[in-house]
Amino acid sequence: MKSPEEIAMAVRTTVNLSACGINKDALARAVARGEYQRLGYGSYMESSFYSQLYPSQQYLARVIGYGRGRLKTSVLSHHSAAAVHGLWLLHVPTAIHTVGQAHGHSTPRLVRHRNSRYETEKSLGVDVTAPLDTVLHCMRVMGFEEALVLADSSLRLVEHQTLVAALQGMSGRGSVQSRIIAECVSPLSESPGESLLRLFLHRCGVPKPVEQYVIGVYGQQFRADFAWPELGIIMEFDGQVKYTEFGEREDVFGRQNEREALLRGQGWDVVRVTWDELMRRPHELKTKVERVFSRARYR
């Protein structure tokens, strides 16, 4: 997986390419041959590099390209600033977002916001709204689930109490959901799936879990995404990232099964929740959760 820094270094504007001896005609021929991918707004990337990127990373490349070449009186904001800061986005945006005094109308590919109150900083070589302002701007245009996921991830960059106070102090559009999010945002969430599962469990009406609960078994320490120690329940979000970041799928899957066998041997009821269950089969998942807690009550 390419890092944000590697992606930023691979983005080339027409000015960059011209300095390397690639004029407009040569660039047009290179694009026609498939050697360069046009990102839009006068920015390019070698096709061999671009093809290795996930859709979210391709969006980041387009954002960086636009930020380097087209911003004059505005800065990258909202979803685009979130991508630059590395915040979690549930969906890959289709448009680049800016905020400032730039003239012109919004289009499907470029959304211009006007807001005179925000702080800016430079990240990955482009000007963006600061992390806290990025979150507050997104609160006004995102649905609840997407906003919660973003807010959880922002706690790597924004102090918890600072974010809570800012969310509680919002007024106008998005302020109602922002105050709700202020009550349930968590610095312990390690993925969008965990954030959404935490919300799902709250909506199911089950007791509040302990997040990232550490359990010692035979001299080994395991950390559970969610646990109810008094009920003997562990719940894990089974995301693909666990298989792609920590080794080959078969090896990780085998270690996971061994881990669960040890925990079950100590009396824990271990439950896995998949992305498919959470996003596409919520009614089935609710029934599954209810059965788990029903078993615990009768043990």
| Each residue's pLDDT tens digit, 122-152 | 999 999 999 999 999 999 999 999 999 999 9
pLDDT 10s digits, 265-294: 888 999 999 999 999 999 999 999 999 999
User: What whole-number distance in Å separates Cα of residue 261 and Cα of residue 281?
Assistant: 26
Q: Please check whether residue 263 is in contact with residue 220, taking contact to mean a CB–CB distance below 8 angstroms.
A: no
Nearby residues of 147 by Cβ (< 8 Å), 6 or more positions away:
138, 139, 174, 177, 178, 181
User: What whole-number distance in Å separates Cα of residue 124 and Cα of residue 84?
Assistant: 7
Question: Which among 221, 235, 151, 217 is positioned nearest to 188, based on CA atoms?
Answer: 151
User: What whole-number distance in Å separates Cα of residue 27 and Cα of residue 77?
Assistant: 30
Question: Which is more confidently placed, 298 or 157?
Answer: 157
The yes-or-no verdict on residue 199 having pLDDT over 90 is yes
Task: Identify residue 296 by its one-letter amino acid code.
Answer: A
By DSSP bridging, strand 96-100 and strand 110-113 are parallel
The yes-or-no verdict on residue 299 having pLDDT over 70 is no
DSSP state of 217: E
User: What whole-number distance in Å separates Cα of residue 157 and Cα of residue 79?
Assistant: 16
Report helix, strand and coil shares of the chain as percent, to nearest 5.
Answer: 50, 20, 30
pLDDT 10s digits, 38-48: 998 889 999 99
Question: Which is more confidently placed, 171 or 71?
Answer: 171
pLDDT 10s digits, 84-94: 999 999 999 99
By DSSP bridging, strand 36-40 and strand 74-76 are unpaired
Average pLDDT value for residue range 189-202: 96
What are residue 72's phi and psi, to 5 degrees?
A: -125, -60
Q: Which residue has the tokens 């391709």?
A: 58
Q: Encode 187-209: b = buried (16+ Cβ within 10 Å), e = exposed.
A: eebbbbbbbbbbbbbeeeebeeb
pLDDT 10s digits, 177-195: 999 999 999 999 999 999 9
Q: Which of 103-107, 251-255, 270-274 has the highest mean pLDDT?
A: 270-274
Instruction: Give me the chain's average pLDDT, please.
Output: 90
Question: Which is more confidently placed, 248 or 59?
Answer: 59
Residue 207 has what pLDDT? 95
Total-model pTM: 0.89
The yes-or-no verdict on residue 254 having pLDDT over 50 is no
